[in-house]
């Protein structure tokens, strides 16, 4: 398998985590968003949207991290990253959607470029924008985590799930935008615990070859 990704991309980061949790080997193909390589025609033949990640399986080209992650879960069911029960799966997918649909898209590169180039916002205003949506999302998620009496050291239950794969990159993004994580002790606890695991450590942006 080949994973086309960028070290700082949250969608690439979550996909790397899942690949690592599944114990799957892959070749990394680096696409620099900073150099706008995702806009090049050669990359857009893989993904007309120009988004990372793209996963080449050898027979198919897979797009969109939620779909890629669900495909990996279906094709490589062990270790399971979704709970066995329907309510558990709903809860995990809900947390993933909170991050993937409601937080992350509002602080990704193309949105920030529009704010900077088209609306002429300065860095302080852009950081305030990012912090606003991260804090709103994290405040709601923190309440959900507190209310779950069965939660252990992960977002759900006592082993990593897709929800953790989504949350950890968003925490890293929050750190970039100087969000005070002390306001979210449950989220911070999950982050600290996940980062003791090699699958999360190896997926971290600073560990990728294109970060150096």
Half-sphere exposure of 111 (CA within 13 A, CB side): 11
The crossing angle, in degrees rounded to 10, of helices 86-97 and 162-176 is 20
CB atoms < 10 A from the CB of 31, how many? 25
What's the predicted TM-score (pTM) here?
A: 0.96
Sheet strands side by side (includes 61-63): 27-30, 2-5, 54-56, 61-63
Residue 78 has pLDDT above 90, yes or no: yes
Question: pLDDT, tens digit, for every residue of 93-121?
Answer: 999 999 999 999 999 999 999 999 999 99
Q: What is the tens place of the pLDDT at every residue in 180-212? A: 999 999 999 999 999 999 999 999 999 999 998
Domains and CATH numbers, the chain: 2-79 (3.40.30.10), 86-200 (1.20.1050.10)
Tokens coding 138: 């994290």
Longest dimension (CA), the chain: 50
């Amino acid at each position: 398998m080949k994973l086309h990704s960028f070290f700082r991309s949250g969608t690439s980061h979550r996909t790397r985590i899942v690949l690592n949790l599944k114990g799957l080997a892959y070749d990394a193909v680096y696409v620099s968003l900073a150099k706008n390589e995702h806009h090049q025609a050669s990359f857009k033949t893989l993904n007309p949207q120009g988004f990372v990640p793209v996963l080449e399986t050898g027979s198919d080209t897979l797009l969109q991290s939620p779909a890629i992650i669900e495909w990996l879960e279906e094709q490589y069911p062990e270790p399971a990253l979704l709970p066995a029960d329907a309510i558990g799966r709903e809860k995990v997918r809900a947390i993933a959607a909170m991050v993937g649909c409601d937080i992350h898209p509002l602080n990704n590169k193309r949105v920030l470029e529009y704010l900077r180039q088209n609306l002429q916002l300065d860095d302080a205003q852009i950081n305030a924008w990012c912090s606003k949506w991260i804090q709103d999302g994290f405040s709601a998620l923190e309440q959900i985590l507190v209310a779950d009496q069965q939660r252990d050291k992960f977002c759900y239950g006592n082993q990593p799930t897709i929800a953790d794969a989504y949350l950890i990159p968003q925490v890293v993004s929050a750190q970039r935008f100087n969000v005070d994580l002390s306001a979210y002790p449950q989220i911070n606890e999950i982050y600290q615990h996940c980062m003791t695991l090699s699958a999360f450590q190896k997926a971290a942006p600073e560990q990728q070859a294109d970060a150096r």
